[in-house]
Amino acid sequence: MLLSKVLGVIVIARNGDRYNYYQDPYTYAASNTETTALGEVESHTLGAQLRSTYFDSKSPSYIEGIRSDLVDNNEVKVRVKAGVEGTVVFDSAIALLQGLFPPSPNNKIVLANETTVVAPLGGYQYVPVETVEPGNDRSLESWTDCPAFEKHIKQFYASDDFKKKSQEAQPFFKAAKDYVFGRPTTLENAWNIYDFINSELTHNKTYAHRLPPTLVEQARHWANYHESGVFSDPEINAVGNIAGRTILHTILTSLERISFNGDPLQFMLLQTTYQPFISLFSQTGIAQERPQYAGVPDYSSALAIELRRGSPPDVRDFVRLKFKNGTSGNWEDVHAFGHRSDIPLTEFIYRAENAAITSNQQWKQICSARGVFSTFADNTGVLNYFASESAFTFAYVFVTLLALYSVAKFIKRSRAEARRVRLEGAENLPVPAVQVVEKRRI
């Protein structure tokens, strides 16, 4: 497969650095946070690295035939998670795209009067971004407001292994207590402890000078154990893998589009948070082969899913996975479903498609969730509408009929009032006022 050519790529990218924020250990509802200049630089760097890898014709991974001087919006599609950490993820996507498609003097237009106009900022390229709000589309944030997932979390906390690890972690939590300023020092809260320590170590000089050596590494170890247990499951289609199951739908349909010669799509960017990485590595067996990938990836990490066409005699389409842990790491090949090389596209789809959640309605059934009308957008941008629950339908019909009845009464009352209207001025007009009103109404 070394001589295979790249037909297209799907990139799943984590957001860049941000200020710390809180996630509820049981529901994963979260507080607000903001991106930092460091985070924007990290995402911009990742974008430049993606450009040199896939948009440079001299690169061995160059996407065959893709336009590299200016963005072609038919060939490139961007979807951005707009739920938890939404503003940070959006900012990261914009910074990444600035590195992927830097300003170009070729981004210009010649007017009828022969005047040449270059886009602002030296030819800045404006790439359309589709934000994915969990209120409308659960494909990029499926773990919040999901009762079945919350049940999975509680079962994980109640497991014998978790109780054993909690006892093992007590020396760390005792040492960390003076550096987390009242935050609960329990294994259930391990992610919040790590996120706070890591953020303060990065942004707070005084804190960084006081923090004992290895404390942040220990915090990350326990956060990795915690998040891996929450966002993975032994079975590929179990609820613990829900973050990967919903994003799989976009991955599989995008691969099919890229493989089809009549579809112009060649590059898909899915800007998201860390949770889908953990689930996907669990579902594909990568975490079992490489346990270091079972935890939280660094800021601006990326998973590239390449679709490659083999060289003769085997000209089938193959999938190659590459992972880059942060901007300082190198791309590493990771292999799905026990393969030691590229996996045929047909096999990849066959083994993954039954785990994919393809609609909000299916998500609701799996989560045992209740809600109103919902839509689920796939990578084609087509929205599928689903009916709400029967109780809501009855309530909707009742409210509609009540509104119609109120409107009818209002119209009837208004007409009655109109008949009592008198024109201004003297009453001794040659024509009765009521008759004048009736004529005006005609």
Q: What is the CATH number of the domain that holds 79?
A: 3.40.50.1240
pLDDT digits (tens, 9 = 90+) for 208-225: 999 999 999 999 999 999
Residue 103: count of CB within 10 angstroms of its CB: 15
**For residue 387, what pLDDT is reported?**
37
433/323 same-domain check: no
- Which domain, by its residues, includes 134? 5-143+231-366
**For residue 430, what pLDDT is reported?**
41
Q: Which one-letter DSSP state was computed for residue 373?
A: S
Residue 225 included in any domain: no
Distance CA 186, CA 197 (A): 14
Residue 187 included in any domain: no
Which of 323, 351, 366 is at the close of a domain? 366
Q: What is the count of structural domains for the chain?
A: 2
**For residue 419, what pLDDT is reported?**
44
pLDDT digits (tens, 9 = 90+) for 421-436: 333 344 343 444 434 3
Residue 332 included in any domain: yes
DSSP 243-255: HHHHHHHHHHHHH
328/405 same-domain check: no
Distance CA 324, CA 417 (A): 74
**For residue 435, what pLDDT is reported?**
41
254/395 same-domain check: no
256/361 same-domain check: yes
411/356 same-domain check: no
Residue 159 included in any domain: no
284/345 same-domain check: yes
Residue 196 included in any domain: no
Positions in the chain short of pLDDT 70:
1-3, 370-442
Residue written as token pair 């329990």: 186
Which of 311, 331, 366 is at the close of a domain? 366
**For residue 312, what pLDDT is reported?**
84
66/25 same-domain check: yes
Give the Å distances, CA to CA, from 144 to 27, 28, 159. Answer: 6, 6, 22
Of 320, 369, 326, 322, give the one whose Cα is nearest residue 341.
320
287/330 same-domain check: yes
Residue 293 included in any domain: yes
Mean pLDDT computed over every residue of the chain = 88
**For residue 4, what pLDDT is reported?**
85
Residue 326 included in any domain: yes
344/404 same-domain check: no
Which of 366, 399, 417 is at the close of a domain? 366
405/358 same-domain check: no
Residue 23 included in any domain: yes
